[in-house]
Structure 1
Amino acid sequence: MTSSGLSHVTFIVRDLDRIERMLTTVLGAVRVYDSGSDTFSLSEERFFLVGEGDDATWVATMRGDGGLPRSYNHVAFQVERGDLPALREKIAALGLDLRPPRSRVEGEGDSIYFYDDDGHLFELHAGSLRERLAVYAPPPAAEESPMAE
């Protein structure tokens, strides 16, 4: 038996309203659940869907300590390349910490990286795994020609 894919991503945050503003403004997330003061899980929580239909990603947020040490551990959301400038403006308007892009190989896609107020690193990525693997593939070996004697 194997996994059929990702079920959901959970972020522990100090402020549920603040992370909701980021998710809805930047990712177009739709809130589908709010526990209010009920705690069926570990703490108050909200669920969101990012994307549409059966391919939507379930994002959960839970109230907690937050404040992670910053690292390159991150979650990346697929976006359209043409949307990157407008998304960068939305992120900046929310006062989030935009990070410089990492160095890239030509053709592997473009990204915006930013931290939320709890230290989670998000990437908005315009590209696909197929494109990246094609760029990383070694060039075909040149056929060897017989040497003249």
Structure 2
Amino acid sequence: MLQGLNHITIAISDVVRSLAFYTEFVGMKAHVRWDRGAYLSLGGVWFCLSCDDVSPSQDYSHIAFDIAEQDFAEFRKKLRDAGVIEWKQNVSEGDSVYFLDPDGNKLEAHSGDLQTRLKALKEKPYSGLEWL
């Protein structure tokens, strides 16, 4: 039986550049690096950077990271000051900034959790929403 997330792997084109981005901007802890990849972690989640032919999603698929509400404004400013590209504007509950990594992989920093989202849905349900 599945128990939860084990790790997340994303394709990158440059280990040094991506390792710097994910440690300096995202705040991940680097553990090891090799010629074509690196292992990092964030909040107990194992994250793998793996060199490959990068083909970022053209749809809404993305990886969202948790951020404390009090840290959000500073984080967004840091991204904007560095010229990190934002790929979407937030229209949902909680603070979110949607940004691209150096290879165009879609990321998000979100202040909120499943419970805050469900509470917001009680007040403003999505079209066709069904509670399960």
Say whether the fold is shared (TM-score over 0.5).
yes
Segment of structure 1 superposing worse, 91-100 or 60-69: 91-100
Q: Check conservation: 1:67, 1:117, Cα contact below 8 A.
A: no
Structure 2 counterpart of 1:21: 20
**1:103-118 matches, cutoff 5 A:** 103-104=91-92, 108-118=93-103
Structure 1 counterpart of 2:54: 66
Rg bigger for which structure?
Answer: 1
Change in CA separation of 1:62 and 1:68 when aligned onto 2, cut-off 3 Å: same
Question: C-alpha distance in 2, partners of 1:88/1:135?
Answer: 23
Question: What is the deviation of 1:138?
Answer: 6.3
**Amino acid in the other structure paired with 1:95:** G
2:64 to 76, 93, 98: 76
Question: C-alpha distance in 2, partners of 1:71/1:102?
Answer: 16
**Structure 1 length-normalised TM:** 0.74
| 1:49 is the counterpart of 2:49 | no
2:108 alignment partner, SS class: strand
| 1:101 is the counterpart of 2:89 | yes
1:126 to 111, 117, 125: 111
Q: How many residue pairs end up in the alignment? A: 124
**Amino acid in the other structure paired with 1:10:** T
2:75 to 66, 74, 87: 87
1:90 alignment partner, SS class: helix
Question: What is the deviation of 1:102?
Answer: 2.9
In the alignment, structure 1 segments of 5+ residues that lack a partner are 37-43, 140-149
In angstroms, what is the RMSD of aligned CA positions? 1.9
1:46-69 CA distances to partner (integer Å, 9 max, x unpaired)?
000112xxxx11110011121425
Question: What is the deviation of 1:77?
Answer: 0.5
Question: What is the deviation of 1:5?
Answer: 0.5
Segment of structure 1 superposing worse, 10-19 or 120-129: 10-19
Question: C-alpha distance in 1, partners of 2:69/2:120?
Answer: 17
1:137 alignment partner, SS class: helix
**Structure 2 length-normalised TM:** 0.83
